[in-house]
Chain A
Amino acid sequence: MKFLCVDCDTRMEFAERAVPGDGTFAAAFCCPACGRTIALLANPMETRLVEALGVQIGGRTLDEQPLELVRSTLVGRDDAFVEADPAGEPARGSVQWSGEALDRLARVPNFVRGMVKRMYADYARERSIATITPEVMDRARSDLGLEGM
């Protein structure tokens, strides 16, 4: 899929994506010549169709996570997945990431993402927080001085 700025006859570049609510998916594209920005808004059904393919509009910024589609779409047990210990067995005190939290993590620059992920996970583990959500990330940023991550 390509977006063309008709006035400039120039291919627009992907700028950002967002999930503003009610299942809507938004992706912004910008013309590098004139700076014009447009937004693609997909309704919930279109959004689900794209998700079902396991692909992302605008390309991937974060490598596909294990069972990403299943974990984000299957109505399953809350405790179905836990972090592995070094032997690949379920670890004690493991933490999970909500889909929204993973989306936010994907926006962290690649070269520090692993470190940031570990810091959030350690923060949650030390406080016996089972699932990292955007709210937990906000608290951690405030408590740990991670503003900007």
Chain B
Amino acid sequence: MKFRTYHEVTGSDASAIGPQVGRQLQRIEERLARVGLLVGVMSGKGGVGKTYVTAALALALGERGLRVGVLDADLAAPTVARVLGGSGPVAVDEEGVHPATGRAGVRVFSTDLLLEEDAPLRWHEPDSARFVWRGTLEAGALREFLSDVVWGDLDLLLIDLPPGTDRLQDIAELAPGVAGVVAVTIPSEESRRAVGRAMRAAREAGLNLLGVVENMSDYACPGCGARTSLFPGDAGNTLAAEFGVPLIARIPFTPTGCPSLPVGDLARLTGLLHPGAP
């Protein structure tokens, strides 16, 4: 039996998978056209306070009158919606799914709004070979969070990325207009190595490195005000020098939870992310 090739058989492909995927990307582009700046917040390491830095930045800018949104790309361990005070249920209409509104008017969308309390991320799926499509489903969910959430007009949309490098390539491909990523580290050598690898992966994915934020740089004694280092190392400065990007903030440890950015650091960060912001 002799077969012709796909392209030799004339006429359209009824499934048109390629155009369907193209339409998905077009929807993202249309949705993000109303977003002034799209910035990822990343880290190669868990527990460095990336979510708190994202929330602190969103709140600080929201309180200064900017229209800020936060997309929680950490699908399996979503926390930022609660930190920002956003809660479900979420409203749906023909325009899309409306994000929750948190403190300072920050709009936020996260799997935390969709999952049962304390339930792990799970998908309806056959019982075997789940590894085959789980990554695809997660990338698909991120795609829909970008294309189907009614972000509205935003000055800044922050993407709170999960630890590691899994989602960096997804963001680079789904949202080619992303301005760049901010890397969060703590001072330790272990963090420097992990975050350095992630920054390298981000650069290889074509993402612009905007700078480094060093979290938990030190701790101020509430009694005498004396500042003490929490971790040995100088990862913030080292990474900034290695990658030729600014160290845009050094944030002290805040035992009460969400840190507030020092005014000088906030000004640098704000200026970097949104020139001309109040």
A positions within 8 Å CB-CB of B: 1-2, 4, 6, 11, 13-14, 23, 29, 44-45, 48-49, 52-60, 64, 66-70, 72-77, 79-85, 88-91, 94
Contact = CB atoms under 8 A, between A and B. Distances in A.
Contacts of B111: 74, 76
Contact of B116 (A6, A68, A76): A76
Interface in B118-161: 119, 121-126, 128-129, 132-133, 136-137, 140-141, 143-145, 148-150
Interface in B195-241: none
A2 B9 contact: yes
Given A53-B17, A82-B91, 17 more contacts: A1-B13, A44-B126, A49-B133, A59-B15, A64-B24, A66-B97, A68-B148, A69-B137, A69-B143, A74-B124, A74-B141, A76-B115, A77-B89, A80-B90, A81-B91, A82-B90, A90-B89
A146 B95 CA distance: 27
Interface string B6-44: 100111011111001101100100000000000000000
B89 A73 contact: no
Interface of B: 1, 3-4, 6, 9-11, 13-17, 20-21, 23-24, 27, 88-93, 95-98, 111, 113-116, 119, 121-126, 128-129, 132-133, 136-137, 140-141, 143-145, 148-150
A75 B14 contact: no
13 contacts: A53-B140, A59-B20, A66-B144, A70-B140, A70-B144, A74-B123, A75-B122, A75-B123, A76-B114, A80-B114, A82-B90, A89-B98, A90-B91
Nearest 3 interchain pairs by C-beta: A84-B91, A14-B14, A84-B93
A147 to B, nearest CB: 26
A45 B128 contact: yes
Contact of A74 (B21, B27, B114): B114
A83 B93 contact: yes
B125 A56 contact: no
Contacts of B9: 2, 4, 11
Contacts of B16: 59
A139 B132 CA distance: 39
Nearest to B21: A55
A52 B21 CA distance: 12
A80 B137 CA distance: 19
A98 B124 CA distance: 14
Given A52-B136, A53-B136, A66 B15 contact: no
Contacts of A6: 1
B144 A77 contact: no
> Which of A72, A76, A77, A94 counts the most chain B CB atoms within 10 A?
A76
Contact of B144 (A54, A56, A76): A54
Given A11-B10, A11-B11, A77-B114, A66 B92 contact: yes
A53 B24 CA distance: 10
A73 B124 contact: yes
